[in-house]
């Protein structure tokens, strides 16, 4: 499991000698600047990583497991245990340069390689917000559980010198549509979409940081905790080729579109970040993403194949996985794989079910998923878990059936693929699963 493909966790070093520093000069609490900073902090989704489950906003403490030990995100509230004594320059060093106050290098889970292209004006606004718009919380940062010698920070500086880009103003390409340019600024910069959606090299850096840097950019990642961050390029099979700009905007704003629903790690991104963005910024993001060409030069649009739907309609469930599909999936996703608009996602042609790595679809079948409530679309649809009632072989059959029906072009999966993704929760039948009367009020 690759830790740096997680939604980027910002992990700053606790500076060793804070007391000697003069207090942060007041930048002036210009209300408009604070409001803008609040908006930009939403766009950067700072809250996602800098807030522990059930914790105070931005007070840090969210654990993140890595192969070398657990790290904890830091307090970025304006308390002295947080960044209360940071001057603008300290703040800027951390966010855009990856250098903590005190000089240590941040773990690159903090997406400073992306933030490097945030503009000076936006940095000022973010600083104003974090100093004046966020409630200070006294909460000491927690040291990582990484054992020595891996806990030594100095080698990270070499990583930073090698892979972090120079901090410089974002310049649109000549002749670039200003809407696309705005989208590029948000996606490549504050949005740090590549932190999850761009594959990483062996040395953990994102293989590409912008659209001009090869076709690896936003071409999808390896799985983390059972989910992959999908290809966002123009590919029809597993990318956004079949999505319209309007569908993409609706998806980011409400977590759902005519044919899709958000799940996995992206749910939090929609809930904490994307739904707060203005329509013009969402449109810019969508138009920019739609400008990325397919990675696969042989990419072709999905061609619907009626064969499976016709067979099911006639009661022929002889194809492997077909009977399982009818019993477990068809009520919502339908025998023709088209689902129901905005409610139950279509499976026919859905890029999520055709990814080369089938982890996401397998995990969905095993664990289910709940569509999060958003301000514009408050309904929370839940796909129930099926891990408790289907064997690895059955899950493999039904997932293979979905990946290969209605013109879909995903490869078959094996029971072994399913077994790897089971965790304790989906390995056993619980009382609820067999209809026991359980009080779910939970106090």
Annotated binding site for heme c: 46, 49-50, 193, 196-197, 329, 332-333
Least CB distance from residue 340 to other proteins, whole Å? Answer: 5
Q: Closest CB to other proteins among 221 and 374? A: 374
Choose the stretch contacting other proteins; rule: CB under 8 A; options: 27-35, 231-239, 280-288, 426-434: 426-434
Where does residue 164 rank: exposed (0-12), middle (13-18), buried (19+ CB within 10 A)?
buried
Rounded to whole angstroms, what are the CA distances from 33 to 121, 126, 179, 392?
Answer: 10, 8, 23, 54
Contact residue for other proteins among 306, 375, 420, 428 (CB under 8 A): 375
Q: Closest CB to other proteins among 240 and 377? A: 377
What is the footprint of other proteins within residues 294-353 (CB under 8 A)? 328, 331-332, 340-344
Residue 139 to residue 82: CA distance in whole angstroms: 7
Least CB distance from residue 442 to other proteins, whole Å? Answer: 7
Give the rounded distance of the alpha carbon of 211 from its chain centre.
Answer: 18
373 makes contact with other proteins (CB under 8 A): yes
Identify which of 44, 63, 123 has the alpha carbon closest to the alpha carbon of residue 91. 123
Q: Which residues contact 142 (CB under 8 A, 6 or more apart)?
A: 60, 61, 72
Size of interface with other proteins, in residues (CB under 8 A): 30
Residue 187 to residue 432: CA distance in whole angstroms: 42
Residue 324 to residue 28: CA distance in whole angstroms: 63
User: Interface mask (CB under 8 A) for other proteins, residues 376-395, using x and -?
Assistant: xxxxxxx-x----x------
Q: Closest CB to other proteins among 201 and 341? A: 341
Least CB distance from residue 436 to other proteins, whole Å? Answer: 8
Least CB distance from residue 251 to other proteins, whole Å? Answer: 15
Q: Residue ranges for the binding site?
A: 46, 49-50, 193, 196-197, 329, 332-333
Choose the stretch contacting other proteins; rule: CB under 8 A; options: 58-66, 203-211, 279-287, 371-379: 371-379
178-188 vs 279-290: helix crossing angle, rounded to 10: 90
Q: Where are the alpha helices (DSSP H) in 294-440?
A: 307-313, 322-328, 330-333, 359-367, 392-404, 415-421, 424-427
Query: Residue for token digits 């800027």?
Result: 92
Least CB distance from residue 215 to other proteins, whole Å? Answer: 37
> CB count, 10 Å around CB of 271?
18
Residue 117 to residue 123: CA distance in whole angstroms: 10
Q: Which two tokens stand for residue 297?
A: 């030069």
Residue 50 to residue 185: CA distance in whole angstroms: 23
201 makes contact with other proteins (CB under 8 A): no
Identify which of 215, 239, 388 has the alpha carbon closest to the alpha carbon of residue 301. 239
289 makes contact with other proteins (CB under 8 A): no
Q: Are 187 and 141 in contact (CB under 8 A)?
A: no
Q: Closest CB to other proteins among 209 and 282? A: 282
Q: Closest CB to other proteins among 231 and 338? A: 338
Choose the stretch contacting other proteins; rule: CB under 8 A; options: 69-77, 271-279, 349-357, 368-376: 368-376
Q: Closest CB to other proteins among 222 and 341? A: 341
Choose the stretch contacting other proteins; rule: CB under 8 A; options: 60-68, 189-197, 369-377, 401-409: 369-377
428 makes contact with other proteins (CB under 8 A): no
Q: Closest CB to other proteins among 298 and 441? A: 441
249 makes contact with other proteins (CB under 8 A): no
Q: Closest CB to other proteins among 140 and 432? A: 432
Least CB distance from residue 331 to other proteins, whole Å? Answer: 5
Q: Which residues contact 75 (CB under 8 A, 6 or more apart)?
A: 50, 58, 59, 60, 61, 81, 82, 83, 137, 139, 140, 141
434 makes contact with other proteins (CB under 8 A): yes
Q: Closest CB to other proteins among 109 and 377? A: 377
Residue 360 to residue 264: CA distance in whole angstroms: 8
| Binding region for other proteins (CB under 8 A) | 328, 331-332, 340-344, 370, 373, 375-382, 384, 389, 432-435, 437, 439-443
């Amino acid at each position: 499991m690759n830790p740096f493909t997680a939604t980027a966790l910002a992990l700053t070093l606790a500076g060793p000698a804070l007391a000697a520093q003069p207090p942060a000069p007041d930048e002036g609490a210009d209300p408009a600047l604070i409001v803008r900073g609040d908006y930009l902090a939403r766009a950067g989704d700072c809250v996602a990583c800098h807030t522990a489950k059930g914790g105070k906003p931005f007070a840090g403490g969210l654990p993140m497991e890595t192969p070398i030990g657990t790290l904890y995100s830091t307090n970025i509230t304006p308390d002295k245990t947080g960044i209360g004594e940071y001057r603008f320059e300290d703040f800027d060093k951390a966010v855009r340069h990856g250098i903590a106050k005190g000089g240590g290098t941040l773990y690159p889970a903090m997406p400073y390689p992306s933030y490097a292209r945030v503009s000076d004006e936006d940095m000022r606004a973010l600083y104003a917000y974090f100093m004046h718009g966020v409630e200070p919380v006294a909460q000491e940062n927690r040291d990582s559980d990484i054992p020595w010698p891996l806990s030594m920070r100095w080698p990270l500086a070499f990583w930073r010198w090698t892979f972090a880009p120079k901090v410089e103003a974002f310049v649109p390409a000549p002749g670039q549509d200003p809407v696309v340019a705005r989208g590029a600024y948000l996606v490549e910069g504050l949005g740090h979409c590549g932190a999850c959606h761009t594959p990483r090299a062996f040395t953990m850096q994102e293989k590409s940081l912008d659209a001009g840097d090869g076709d690896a950019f936003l071409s999808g990642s390896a799985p983390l905790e059972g989910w992959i961050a999908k290809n966002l390029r123009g590919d029809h099979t597993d990318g956004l080729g079949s999505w319209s700009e309007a569908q993409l905007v609706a998806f980011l704003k409400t977590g759902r579109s005519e044919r899709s629903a958000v799940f996995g790690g992206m749910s939090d991104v929609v809930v904490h970040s994307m739904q707060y963005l203005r329509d013009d910024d969402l449109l810019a993001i969508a138009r920019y993403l739609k400008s990325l060409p397919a990675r696969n030069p042989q990419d072709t649009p999905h061609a619907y194949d009626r064969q499976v739907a016709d067979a099911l309609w006639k009661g022929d469930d002889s194809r492997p996985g077909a009977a399982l599909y009818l019993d477990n999936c068809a009520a919502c996703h339908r025998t023709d794989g088209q689902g129901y608009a905005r409610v139950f996602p279509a499976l026919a042609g859905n890029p999520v079910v055709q990814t080369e790595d089938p982890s996401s679809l397998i995990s969905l079948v095993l664990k289910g998923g709940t569509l999060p409530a958003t301000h514009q679309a408050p309904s929370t649809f839940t796909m129930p878990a099926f891990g408790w009632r289907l064997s690895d072989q059955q899950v493999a059959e039904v997932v293979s059936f979905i990946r290969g029906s209605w013109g879909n072009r995903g490869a078959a999966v094996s029971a072994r693929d399913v077994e790897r993704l089971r965790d304790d929760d989906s390995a056993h039948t619980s009382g609820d699963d067999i209809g026991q009367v359980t009080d779910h009020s939970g106090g």
